[in-house]
Amino acid sequence: MANFWLALLVFSTMLRAIVVQPQEPTVNITILHSATAEGAVCLDGSPPAYHLDMGHGSGLRSWIITIEGGGWCDKISNCYNRSNGRLGSSTKMQLQQPPTYTFGGILHNDPKTNPDFYNWNRVLVRYCDGSSFTGDVEDVDPDTKLYYRGARIFKAIMDDLSQKGMRNAENAILSGTSAGGLSTILNCDKFRSFLPENARVKCVANAGFFINAKTISGTSYIQEMYNRVVTLHGSTKNLPPSCTSAMEPSLCFFPQNVVPYVHTPMFIINSAYDSWQINSTLVPAYLDPQRAWDHCKAQISNCTLSQRIIIQAFGVEFLKTFMGVTPCYTRGYFITSCHTHGRIMWTNYWFNTISLTILDKTIAEAVGDWYFDRVGFHQHLDPYPFAKDC
């Protein structure tokens, strides 16, 4: 009898897994060789790349572009290191066998896990410039042979997708997570310019709202890092001019400063206790040589009381910064209290029976309602007042 119940349990668990999680498709890589003629290349000089799954049915004239994340390189040595891996070279991307990308969450092709966008043309843009697609330095570094050309890559890929049908789009979304979420914010209005005037064009930035906060010892680590990125990659001319003319240009790498100048409607998904920001902005590794923060960084329930107080203060500062951004009627948001750095390409994060909800909405539902103007309300803020493991 026990065996029977066990078998039934195993079977129903399998069934649930099948019902809840349709298999995520893998999509072939496209190497954009023609981009090299315009000097639109990865750090190592190799051509840029993306993955495209064509739309069908009612999604034929709709496009969703997701930009890959992966931090930034702020020094020649870091960029050189990066040029030897898939985040700096399409040659290295192709070494992965097969060189495909798994399309989950917002890029999934199944309506059960991606109800609004599953049959759109879905694109994942590979990140290989280290500047969130803002860099453009004409000269190739003579010693390292590195290229800083992120902005050119963005343009070359958008031009190519336009030719593949995006120029006739009726609907379009630019999205991304982490450094890709920041790319989304920084390139949102540019993306708009590639699309027809009457198209519905919006941007969805996930885990890309990096705030300009100080470290636990009061230093400006993230601000200095962004300043080095902008300088090394020559990014200033590719940041919104209305922002760079109003303040020190590298400050326009921070969403809090640049979002007020973005005209295209934007949806921002973030955690007030974003784990990347706690790991790197608040407590960068060099400030914790004894690694007293490791267990706390991995899991909130393992933090000491004093660590929790510091993290709590960060969350309060995040919310203050976020809410301080000039309000805008078309902006939507979904701000959680989860100690995560979640990915909209993760099905369990985007739309699943176990996905986090705020006001009974998953992220996918909140974004879909906002994108299609199905409801008037689009500002979701987790009322839970502390950082939590989710």
Ligand X SMILES: *[C@@H]1O[C@H](CO)[C@@H](O)[C@H](O)[C@H]1NC(C)=O
Residues interacting with ligand X, by CB under 6 A? 28, 77-78, 81, 85, 275-276, 279, 294-295, 297-299, 302, 341
What is the number of residues in the chain? 390
Q: How far is the CB of 101 from ligand X (least distance, A)?
A: 11
Give whichever of 13 and 28 is closer to ligand X, judged by the CB atom: 28
Q: Is 152 helix (H, G, I), strand (E, B) or coil?
A: helix
Catalytic residue among 90, 132, 175, 178: 178
Catalytic residue among 51, 274, 380, 382: 274
Give whichever of 149 and 297 is closer to ligand X, judged by the CB atom: 297
67 forms beta bridges with: 125, 176
Residue 129 annotated to the active site: no
- Cα-based torsion angle of the residue sequence 109, 93, 276, 346 in order, rounded to the nearest 10 degrees: 10
379 forms beta bridges with: 333
Q: How far is the CB of 279 from ligand X (least distance, A)?
A: 4
Q: How far is the CB of 346 from ligand X (least distance, A)?
A: 13
Q: Provide DSSP, 239-260.
A: S-HHHHTTS-GGGGGSHHHHGG
Name the residue among 93, 77, 158 with its Cα closest to residue 128: 93
The Cα–Cα gap between 23 and 226 comes to 38
Q: Is 123 helix (H, G, I), strand (E, B) or coil?
A: strand
Give whichever of 51 and 202 is closer to ligand X, judged by the CB atom: 51
Give whichever of 13 and 77 is closer to ligand X, judged by the CB atom: 77
Give whichever of 87 and 137 is closer to ligand X, judged by the CB atom: 87
Q: Is 288 helix (H, G, I), strand (E, B) or coil?
A: coil
Give whichever of 85 and 260 is closer to ligand X, judged by the CB atom: 85
What are the φ and ψ backbone dihedral angles of 253, each rounded to 5 degrees? -85, -15
Per-residue tokens: 101: 């990308």
Radius of gyration (C-alpha) of the chain in whole angstroms: 21
Catalytic residue among 341, 355, 378, 380: 341
Residue 301 annotated to the active site: no
Round to the nearest angstrom and report the end-to-end CA distance of the chain: 36
Q: Does a cis peptide bond (omega within 30 degrees of 0) precede residue 98?
A: yes
Per-residue tokens: 20: 């809840």
Look-up of token digits 């060189």:
99
Residue 341 annotated to the active site: yes
The Cα–Cα gap between 119 and 110 comes to 8
Q: How far is the CB of 216 from ligand X (least distance, A)?
A: 14
Q: How far is the CB of 275 from ligand X (least distance, A)?
A: 4
How many of the other CB atoms lie within 10 Å of CB of 98?
A: 8
Give whichever of 180 and 332 is closer to ligand X, judged by the CB atom: 180
Q: How far is the CB of 293 from ligand X (least distance, A)?
A: 8
Q: Is 271 helix (H, G, I), strand (E, B) or coil?
A: strand
Half-sphere exposure of 262 (CA within 13 A, CB side): 36
Q: How far is the CB of 347 from ligand X (least distance, A)?
A: 19
Tell me the catalytic residues: 178, 274, 341
